[in-house]
Amino acid sequence: MKKIISAPLAPKAIGPYSQAVENNGILFISGQIPLDPSTSKIVEGGISEQTGQVMKNIGAILQEAGYSYKDIVKSTCLLSDMDNFKAMNEIYGQFFPENPPARAAYAVVKLPMGALIEIETIAMK
C-alpha cells in the first residue's frame, strides 16, 4: 500500500510532489536540493556545502520513514556543472563508507532555485 512520507526535519516540497512515497518496502525519495529546512533557502557555500545539505535532507526523510543510508540502493545525482563532480563525490562518499548504492550522475542545464545539485534516491528494506 502506498504511504506518503512527510519529514518535518526536511524541507517542504516546493511543488506538487511528496518528499517520499513508500510502497511494499521500497522508499522513493523525491529529488532533494540543498534547502535549509528552517529557512527554505539554499545553503550558503559551494558544491561541498550543498551536497552535504542535500544528504542531510535525505537522511531526515530516511529517518522519518524508518530507513537509513544503508538501505539506499540507487541514487541519481543531477549537477549544474560536471566540474563539481569530484567535490560532490568527496562529500557524497562520506555517507556511504562501505557498500555504496548504485548511482548515476548527470549534468543538467539548470536546477530549481539556482541549486548546484539535486539528488533523488531509492531505498529498500
Residue 1 banded pLDDT, cuts 50, 70, 90: confident
Note whether 90 and 55 are within 8 A (CB). Answer: no
Mean pLDDT of 77-92: 98
> What pTM does this model have?
0.96
Which own/partner pairs from 17-23 qualify as long-range (CB within 8 Å, at least 24 positions apart)?
A: 19/61, 20/61, 20/65, 22/65
CATH number 3.30.1330.40 is the correct assignment for the domain at 3-124 = yes
User: Is it the case that residue 23 has pLDDT exceeding 90?
Assistant: yes
The domain limits of the chain are 3-124
Q: How many CB atoms lie within 10 A of CB 114?
A: 9
**pLDDT class for 30, splitting at 50, 70, 90?**
very high
* Alpha carbon distance 80, 98 (integer Å): 27
What average pLDDT score do residues 7-27 get?
95
Q: Is the pLDDT of residue 14 over 90?
A: no
